């Protein structure tokens, strides 16, 4: 093999260095979002008011994930939604009985929260990985300001 010398070698090396290297990694549905949910944003959908987990507070950025280890106001928000719409003892209109013990709303995404998310996911026949991400946000129900459980955006 013959290697280029002198100026040609430097130009070839510079050209090669300028070519971006891309690794293709298949993202799971939950990890397709870029950040952790850390705050909440209020959204009106028609006459319904939803308070949703978002990247930051009042940003409107829904592209986020919550999973074991997260601690934030967004986790507390998700826990309230799960208790209202999936706990068997809920009085919210349209709730589904997916789990029997209400979550402690403490802002800590631990095993109990992961189990509740998985139960909600199973109740909608989506992958029950216990992680709140884009597919889960699009599929599960959230409680509105009028105590009605509804899919966000509908």
Digitized pLDDT (tens) for each residue of the chain, 154 residues in all? 333 344 443 434 443 344 333 233 334 444 454 799 999 999 999 999 999 999 999 999 999 999 999 999 999 999 999 999 999 999 999 999 999 999 999 999 999 999 999 999 999 999 999 999 999 999 999 999 999 999 998 6
In angstroms, what CA-CA distances link 78 with 84, 99, 100, 121? 10, 15, 17, 13
Q: Is residue 145 part of a domain?
A: yes
Q: Is residue 2 part of a domain?
A: no
Q: Is residue 1 part of a domain?
A: no
Q: Is residue 66 part of a domain?
A: yes
pLDDT of 94 = 95
Q: Is residue 7 part of a domain?
A: no
Q: Is residue 18 part of a domain?
A: no
Q: Three-class SS of residue 87? A: strand
Q: Is residue 5 part of a domain?
A: no
pLDDT of 153 = 80
Q: Three-class SS of residue 32? A: helix
d(CA 12, CA 17): 9
Q: What is the pLDDT of residues 2-27, one digit of tens each?
A: 333 444 434 344 433 443 332 333 34
Range of the domain at 126: 29-151
pLDDT of 154 = 65
pLDDT of 26 = 35
Q: Is residue 19 part of a domain?
A: no
């Amino acid at each position: 093999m013959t290697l280029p010398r002198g100026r040609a070698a430097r130009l070839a090396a510079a050209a090669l260095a300028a070519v971006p290297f891309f690794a293709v990694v298949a993202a799971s549905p939950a990890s397709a979002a870029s950040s952790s949910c850390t705050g909440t944003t209020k959204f009106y959908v028609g006459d319904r008011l939803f308070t949703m987990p978002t990247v930051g507070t009042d940003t409107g950025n829904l592209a986020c994930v919550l999973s074991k280890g997260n601690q934030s106001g967004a986790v507390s928000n998700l826990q309230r939604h799960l208790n209202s719409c999936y706990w068997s003892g809920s009085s919210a209109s349209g709730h589904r009985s997916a789990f029997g013990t209400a979550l402690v709303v403490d802002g800590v995404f631990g095993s109990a929260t992961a189990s509740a998310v998985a139960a909600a996911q199973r109740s909608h026949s989506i992958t029950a990985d216990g992680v709140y991400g884009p597919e889960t946000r699009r599929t599960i129900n959230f409680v509105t300001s009028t105590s009605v459980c509804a899919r966000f955006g509908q």
